[in-house]
A and B are shown apart, each in its own frame.
Chain A
Amino acid sequence: MRIGSGSGKKLTLTIEKRLESPGALRFVIPSVSLLAALATGAVFLFLMGVSPFEAYSAMFRAAFGDGYGISETIVKSIPISMAAVAVMLTFTMLIYNIGAEGQIFMGAIASAAVVRYCFVDSAPAMLLMMIAAAGTAGGLWAALAGYLKARWNVNEIISTLMLNYVAIHLMDYFVYGPWRDPASLGFPMTAPFPGVARLPLLFGTRIHMGLFVAVFLALLFFVLIRHTRWGYEIRVIGENPRAAGFAGMNYVRNVILVMFISGAIAGIAGMCEVSGLQGRLQHGFSAGYGYTAIIVAWLSQLHPIAILFVSFLIGALLVGGETLQIVMRLPLSSTLILQGLILFFVLGGEIFKTYRIRFQREDA
């Protein structure tokens, strides 16, 4: 693109592809994008009649200001980071699992089924059984779409998305129907889980053991994807399925396997959420974590360790947003606009990683 200006000497602005992407850009670009988003948001807050500085500091204090804020931010980030690792894995091989939300629900349903039908009075046995059931349920749910993709090339974006609604309705069936707590007087939720089916809490906060699971999974998949033969295979399949085929890599098997593992991770995220935080299965229990995870995975550039940090930041946005309503008396929509601005700028900033703008002076 060329934009001309003036006469005589012409100043042109060129957008051209970078030949190489300096490592420092990985940090500079998102930081500058974030600042640009906050500056735009400041104008908006100013127009709303509040002091941008006060608003931002209130948000910051709520999310990071003390132990409570940090703990709640972490609580929010646990399911998001696990689901993000789940979708990251499929995105790495250019398979688009949009169904983490449904897989989270399947994991939660399976955990509740274990509590209801296979109760044993031992926390380790109970929790391991719940994790195994949740992983299997989420995994099979995703593998179904994976099989359709690998076998008949059914578009996995559509099939995983559709399966989300099926899973959500399936859960509604159980919580409104056979599993409903008789003491709830008809409100759609199961009875509270017994203590042995609850993940232990840490430091007297609502942070639960799911935190360790989330960190462990991020590290595990960092190693698996970057430092193993299998990881190499799925990266090659992602970049060039034909070449991968010529090299003897099994496309069908890997698609189904990766989808299964991805769904299993999301299922375990669902288990951690019901067992660690909610303590029962309830209508509408996931606040769209499976969808937030997709954004997080891209913001992290499919890097498992980056996912942990980005999830933490997204959690902070969610937690800090409420304070904006309480302290600054702003409506919910203004916090949504701020969150939207940040995502827009940070994702939009990505373009500067592969392209650069140059100003040139040319003689007419």
Chain B
Amino acid sequence: MRKRAVFLALAAVLVVCGAGFAFDAIPADKIKPGFVYIGPVGDGGWTFMHDKGRVEMEKAFPGVASSFVESVPEGPDSLRVMETFIRNGSKVIFATSFGYMDFVQEAAKKHPDVIFLHCSGYKQAANVGTYFGRMYQARYLSGLVAGRMTKKNVIGYVAAHPIPEVIRMINAFTLGVKKVNPKAEVRVVWLFSWFDPGKEKEATKALIDSGADLIAMHADTGAAPQAAEESGVYVIGYNNDMSKFAPTKHLTAPVWDWGMFYKHYIDQITKGTWKTGDIWWGLKEGVVGLAPYGKDVPEDVKKLIETEKTKIISGSWDVFAGPVKDQKGVVKIPQGKTATDAEMLSMNWFVEGVKGDIPK
């Protein structure tokens, strides 16, 4: 629990430092938003969807001319990329991967007049806001499909980095699986990378070889769905509708709509109402959702998903509502309690039903 205390203290500090005043309005043609991407825009997943959001935003605000740099590693190079954007006139930087966090902070200190928006991070400042979505809600819904469709009760999960974001999604997915199929287990393989199509494919094949008859994934490309299709195994994609990678085996996918964020921010910035903070939108706002179902998904699951979705959207229930047990059977979230945002943001334990380790 020490970690949680540290996290809460950190959050408190952020709120105090972050309680800034709104920035002055920036005219649309002066914003020149710069997007820092972790992968290529053609990755068919994470970066592809961010870029789709960027293009949507440009359409909605014709005066805004944005640009991007692809395949920027989460290291010192990212600082130079942000600096280069600013030297070419950018007043707003969107940094779209977790590992840019400390470099965003460094650049933000040097350029207090530039607004930085960091996707999936937790460090804010007067000119640094963070944004992310309650993807765990859509993950849970996709888990309902997975639990219903597995025959061998073994589901493989190809996962990027062992960080709270990914762990939270695995947990939410597994809770969905368990809800409809208490006997099923979810086997996790770590990639230790966001973007590595070769590794994503290998990990998928390895999971299938070990007995999984359904694959779920958390990585940036469509390589895992491709591998599943080749092996004739059902798959649940991520980021966007990945049915083009697995035309016959794609069941659904938890998907993002980043354009909502980008339109929201540019709107606020042009009006001069933006101030720092954290946005964590979910199913209710429509930032996350499910891709169209594959032809094999039965009607009863679709109905169940609608019921669960309504519960979540109405706010009467959320995914991490107790009782939730960890892998050893210890109750982590007691009956009557629901995990707080802070607890979800620092989640570093697996729920019951996950087979796999979090590297310590």
A contact set with B: CB distance below 8 Å: 62, 68, 72, 75, 172, 176-177, 180, 182-183, 185-188, 206, 277-278, 282-285, 287, 319, 322-323, 325-327, 329, 331-333
Contacts and interface: CB of A to CB of B under 8 A. Distances in A.
Interface string B189-211: 00011000000000000000000
Interface of B: 3, 6, 34, 40-41, 67-71, 73-77, 79-81, 83-85, 87-88, 98-99, 122, 161-164, 167, 192-193, 346, 348, 358-360
A287 to B, nearest CB: 6
A172 B6 CA distance: 26
Nearest to A321: B69
B233 to A, nearest CB: 28
A319 B80 contact: yes
B85 A187 contact: no
B158 to A, nearest CB: 17
Contact of B192 (A62, A176, A325, A332): A176
Contacts of B69: 322, 325-326, 332
A278 B106 CA distance: 13
Given A177-B359, A180-B359, A183-B6, 5 more contacts: A68-B83, A176-B162, A187-B163, A284-B73, A284-B74
Chain A interface SS verdict (over half): helix
Given A68-B87, A72-B80, A186 B67 contact: no
B85 A326 contact: yes
Contact of A206 (B76, B98, B192, B346): B76
Contacts of B70: 325, 331-332
A114 B77 CA distance: 25
18 contacts: A72-B83, A172-B192, A185-B346, A186-B162, A186-B167, A186-B358, A278-B76, A282-B75, A283-B192, A287-B73, A322-B69, A322-B84, A323-B88, A325-B67, A325-B68, A326-B34, A327-B67, A331-B70
* Residue in A75, A278, A284 with the greatest tally of chain B CB atoms within 10 Å: A284
B289 to A, nearest CB: 26
A266 B359 CA distance: 30
Contacts of B74: 282, 284
Contact of B161 (A75, A186, A287): A186
A187 B192 CA distance: 9
A322 B84 CA distance: 8
Most chain-A CB neighbours within 10 Å: which of B69, B74, B76?
Answer: B76
Contacts of B71: 332
Nearest to A189: B99
B178 to A, nearest CB: 23
